[in-house]
Amino acid sequence: MKKKLVLLLLLVLLTGTLLAGLLPMSFIRSRYIEEVENRLLDNAKLVEGFLLEDFLEEEDLQRRVLSIGEVLDARITIVDEEGRVLADTAMRDGGFENHLNREEIQDSLQGEIGRSVRVSESVNEEMLYVAIPRYLDDGSIQVVRLSVSLWEIQGINRQMLIYVLISIAAGIILASILGYRFINKFLEPIKNLTNTSQEIAKGNLDKPLIVTSNDELGELSETFNNMRIQLKHSFEELEDQNIKLQALLTSITNPIIAVNPKKEIILFNPAAEILFETKGEAVYGKHILEVVRDHTLEERVEQIFDQNRDSQMEWELKYPGKKHLKVNTSLIRVPKDPNRNLGIVASIEDLTEMKKLETMRSDFVANVSHELKTPLTSIKGFVETLKSGRVEEEEQRQRFLDIIEIEAERLTRLINDILTLSEIENHRISYEKELIDVKVAIKNSLDVIQPIGEEKNIRFLVEVEEGLPKIKGNIDWFKQMLINLLDNGVKYTPSSGEIQIKAYGKKGRVYLSIKDNGMGIPREDLERIFERFYRVDKGRSRKVGGTGLGLAIVKHVVKSLNGYIAVKSKEGEGTEFIVNFPGEKDQKK
């Protein structure tokens, strides 16, 4: 910009100087020619007066013209009406060509004063010609023409042109120096404004614009600084609102998606990122189908735009994982213009776990009903048979009573397991904790299980690491977990088998392993063995007296102690359950 201003200044200066120089030159030339023309006209009249005789011989006329020419300091030419030169102060040998076609001669022969400026073919100079008619007594006309060279005015013009060019050169040099300094000073506030604007564009709103002038640039600086302050306040408010909005969106556990009328994503909170297994920055601006690869939601969005009203639906999502969702969709309206829609926001509620819980509750009620119905039916049937008196033999009556006792014990175990499971689920968050000695707990649990194992000639191999950290929790639940795992091993281990019990510490945690060499668990059943009433082999489980709640109780006890459980199994080779808990130092107070 600086170069443009300097060049513009020089151009203006050059134009002004040329106009200031050339216009006076043209004016002076015009005035000079006008004055010389008037002088020649007067002299021409004087010459006419000196030529009193009507007719002179050419020699006498030539002498008279020469004598007059010496006084007037001008070239005098006498031309007859045929254009022939009769006398001339610049007479030369051979004479002159015919002058009839000269402009001033023609005008004079018409009775007018002839004027002309041209280069003389006789003397090869620019000349000013003035001609007047001279009427003779015989009625003929002669032309008295006076002319002077314009070399003087040409010299003056050349001199003025030199002065003009010198003035232009000096003016350009001086103007370049002064203009450069002036433009620098003039552009300095604009440069400051540009630098400050660049800083603001980078986000630096703390740098003020400093301009000390009291002119329009000073007013612009003050206005710009006020705008900067207001912009800073607006940005701070916007940033504060954005932080609050981000915090709110992050804290909301439900996935939230917003799209514009083109169905391009404009909002995608962290919960939505988790649900659709993607990153928010990678989805903004993309069509909803590129992120949510299901036409159901896209069709619902289209329907809401068409109907211009909020909506609610349940949605079975198949990708990236099977989910049961509830979607509430609302139009994003402009408060001052309710008829204008900026897009749609969808709040998604994941009902998958709720549906699972409903299914589990329904299955639990059905399983409990089934498990209670079977022994109750047996008890009721044998009681009715005994009451009818049809059984007369004592041995048969005793066998019926034994069956009734077995079924009653089965009912008792089932009810006890249900109560235990309910107690753990309802009180695992708040219960009285105590220090558990793992070695002692294993010994006490073996005292309960070992007699049952001896009936099948099962060996128990115990290996407990010395100095194990104690575990903090409910000791009764911990023993129940051990008894259920050991009982499960005894039930599914063939006679003369063995069960290995290991306890050891690792990285501040206590590990407990119970491994048998029984029938093992099929791979497809491993994920479900901790479900309530789930049996790998339903017929065999009932035969060995299982309620189907043992491992479910184990899982909930492990959770109540902030532990983890894993299972390794291979059909025909046995099963190993591995649980680990935080030691006393790592337990949450």
pLDDT digits (tens, 9 = 90+) for 333-360: 776 666 677 788 888 777 777 777 676 6
Residues pairing with 331 in the sheet: 344
CB 308 within 8 A of CB 329: no
At 121 the three-state DSSP class reads coil
Mean pLDDT of 222-231: 78
Is 489 or 396 the better-scoring residue by pLDDT?
Answer: 489
Q: Tell me which of 251-265, 304-318, 369-383, 552-566 is least confident.
A: 369-383
**Residue 287 has what DSSP assignment?**
B
- Quote the pLDDT of residue 589: 41
Residue whose C-alpha is closest to residue 217's, from 242, 245, 192: 192
Top mean pLDDT of 120-134, 203-217, 372-386 is at 120-134
Question: Worst-scoring range by mean pLDDT, 303-307, 520-524, 537-541, 546-550?
Answer: 537-541
The pTM of this model reads 0.41
Tokens for 357, please give them.
């819980």
When mean pLDDT is compared across 152-156, 239-243, 393-397, 513-517, the lowest value belongs to: 152-156
> What tokens appear for 242 in the block?
């954005």
Closest residue by Cα to residue 145 from 170, 120, 169? 120
Amino acid 533: pLDDT: 67
pLDDT class for 88, splitting at 50, 70, 90? confident
- Per-residue pLDDT, averaged over 89-105, amounts to 77
* Measured distance CA(41)–CA(26) in Å, rounded: 22
With residues binned 3-state (H G I as helix, E B as strand, rest as coil), the percentages for the chain, rounded to 5, are: 55, 20, 25
Residue 469, C-beta contacts closer than 8 angstroms, at least 6 positions apart:
505, 508, 510, 583, 584, 585
Residue tagged 């900026």 (tokens): 342
pLDDT band at 588 (very low <50, low <70, confident <90, very high): very low
Asked whether the predicted pLDDT for residue 586 surpasses 50, the reply is no
Listed ranges 86-100, 273-287, 390-404, 459-473; the one with the highest mean pLDDT? 459-473
DSSP 457: T
CA-only gyration radius of the chain, Å: 62
Contact call for residues 529 and 548 (beta carbons, < 8 A): no
**Segment 528-556 mean pLDDT:** 65
Residue found under tokens 């795992």: 485
Q: Which of 186-200, 211-225, 394-408, 442-456 has the highest mean pLDDT?
A: 442-456
Q: Quick one: 550 exposed, middle or buried, by C-beta within 10 A (0-12, 13-18, 19+)?
A: buried
> Residue 215 is encoded by which pair of tokens?
């002119």
439 vs 343: CA distance, rounded Å: 64
pLDDT for the residue numbered 366: 62
Two tokens at 468? 């194990």
pLDDT of 523 higher than 60: yes
Q: What is the mean pLDDT of residues 21-50?
A: 75
Do the beta carbons of residue 345 and residue 258 sit within 8 Å?
Answer: yes
**Each residue of 441-479: pLDDT tens digit?**
899 888 888 888 888 898 999 999 888 888 888 888 888
Mean pLDDT, rounded, for 61-86:
82
- For the chain, count helices (H), then strands (E): 14, 17
Structure tokens that stand for 353 in this block: 């776990």
Q: Provide mean pLDDT across the span 140-167.
A: 76
Instruction: Report helix, strand or coil for 99.
Output: coil
**% of the chain at pLDDT higher than 70:** 71
If 0-12 CB within 10 Å is exposed, 13-18 middle and 19+ buried, where does residue 580 land?
buried
Q: Report pLDDT for 479.
A: 85
From the centroid of its chain, how far is CA 315? 31
User: Rounded mean pLDDT of the chain?
Assistant: 76
Which value, to the nearest 10 degrees, does the dihedral of the CA atoms of residues 416, 419, 425, 426 take? -150
Ranges of H-type helices in 350-392: 352-388
What is the pLDDT at residue 120?
Answer: 76
d(Cα 289, Cα 154) in Å, to the nearest integer?
88
Asked whether 471 and 580 are in contact (CB, 8 A), the reply is no
